[in-house]
Structure formats: structure tokens, C-alpha cells
Amino acid sequence: MKNAILIAACLVAVTPSLVAAQTAPKTVEQVKKDVEQTQAIKTKIDEAAQFNPRFVRTLTNVQIELTLTDQTGAGASDKKIVSMIASSGNWGKVRSAGTVYPPAEPPYPVQLNVDARPLVSIEGPIQLEITLEYSPIRGEGDPKVGPRQRPSGINQSQTVVMQSGKSLVISQAADPISDRKVVVEVKATVLK
């Protein structure tokens, strides 16, 4: 209770000076001081932008090419390519899905979904946030995959730094059921 009375007394004592300060016009010195403070803040923001590419929003498009290579044993590899264009700092999303209806078995979904967001820095490298979801169809003649099993799907999300126009293998995954492996390679190219 004593604290509430003390706070109320302080407010009553300070309020007239606050009202006077708000209604009184600023002097030339106060305006100059405000301008200097604003310029100092702007300078700090500009300096931070030089060292942190996330502060800079470049207006450019980036072509993203994802190549997924799916191979079991020594057999032929199956390649899938997803290509998209997204502007720097924005998401591009590709969805590809279907349903397989094998004879005498329940149907199951297959999909290849890719989300990517490139961030182009003023120094040149590209920071790429990418998410991949892949559920493949069962390969013909794969003896290690039973009639009710199908190859394991992949769900990955990561952030990598890339050079424009250069490919980078971002992951290699092994199937826990068979000797299958999936390699994911990405190339991001800044479009002029």
C-alpha cells in the first residue's frame, strides 16, 4: 500500500513537468541532437549490414537445381531433378505426389517435395535453406524389399553456403532395409 501511495505521489509531482516538456517547442540544439542520434543509429545499421548478409536484401533471382540420385546395389541409378527459381530471401516450393496401386496390395503414396530459400549476400556466396521430402516407388526386382515393404523415404532440412553456379553434394543417405543409397546434390545460380 505504501508503494502505491509513493508511486501516485511521484506521478503527481512529475506530470506537470512532462506536460510542459511535451508542449514546449524544441530548441535548435535539441533538434540537432535528435538528428545526430538518428544518424548514429543509421550508421550502426549500415555497418552491421556490411558484416551480416541477412541485413541486406538483394533484389535478384536464384535458379535452384536439385538432383536426387537413388541407387540400389550395383544396379542402374534413378535420377530425379527438381528445378525452380526463387528471389533472394523468399521461399520456392515444388510439390509432386501420386499414388501407386500395386496388384493385390494396398495403394501407397509417392512424393517428391522440395522447399528452398536462397539468401544472396553482398559478397557473393548464397546461403540456401532447403527441405526435401522423398517417398519413392518400390523398385522392380529388389529381393531385399518384401511384398509389403517399400524403400525408406527421406525427410531432411538443412542450411548450406554455396558459390553461384557450383554443384554441392549436401547429403548421402543409406536405406536401413537394403543396400540402397540416395545422394542429393544442389546447384544455386544467381541470375543476372
How do the residues of the chain divide into helix, strand and coil, expressed in percent and rounded to 5?
A: 25, 45, 30
CB 72: neighbour CB atoms within 10 A?
A: 20
**What does the pLDDT average to over 35-46?**
75
Asked if 189 and 88 count as a contact pair (C-beta separation under 8 A), the reply is no
2 has a pLDDT exceeding 80: no
190 has a pLDDT exceeding 90: yes
State the alpha helices, DSSP H only, in the chain: 2-23, 28-51
Grid coordinates given for 140: 522392380
Asked if 130 and 160 count as a contact pair (C-beta separation under 8 A), the reply is yes
130 has a pLDDT exceeding 70: yes
The pLDDT of residue 77: 82
Confidence bin at 48 (pLDDT 50/70/90): low
Q: C-alpha angle with apex 128: 89 to 124, nearest 5 degrees? A: 80
| Range in 46-60, 92-106, 162-176 the model is least confident about | 46-60
138 vs 30 pLDDT, higher one = 30
Q: Sheet containing 108-120: which strands, arranged edge to edge?
A: 92-100, 108-120, 126-135, 154-162
* pTM tops 0.85: no
Residue whose entry in the numeric block shows the C-alpha cell 546395389: 73
Average pLDDT, the chain: 79
Rounded distance between C-alpha atoms, residue 117 and residue 130, angstroms: 6
Who's near 91: CB < 8 A, 6+ residues apart?
115, 116, 117
18 vs 26 pLDDT, higher one = 26
24 has a pLDDT exceeding 80: no
Domain map (residue ranges) of the chain: 16-51, 61-191
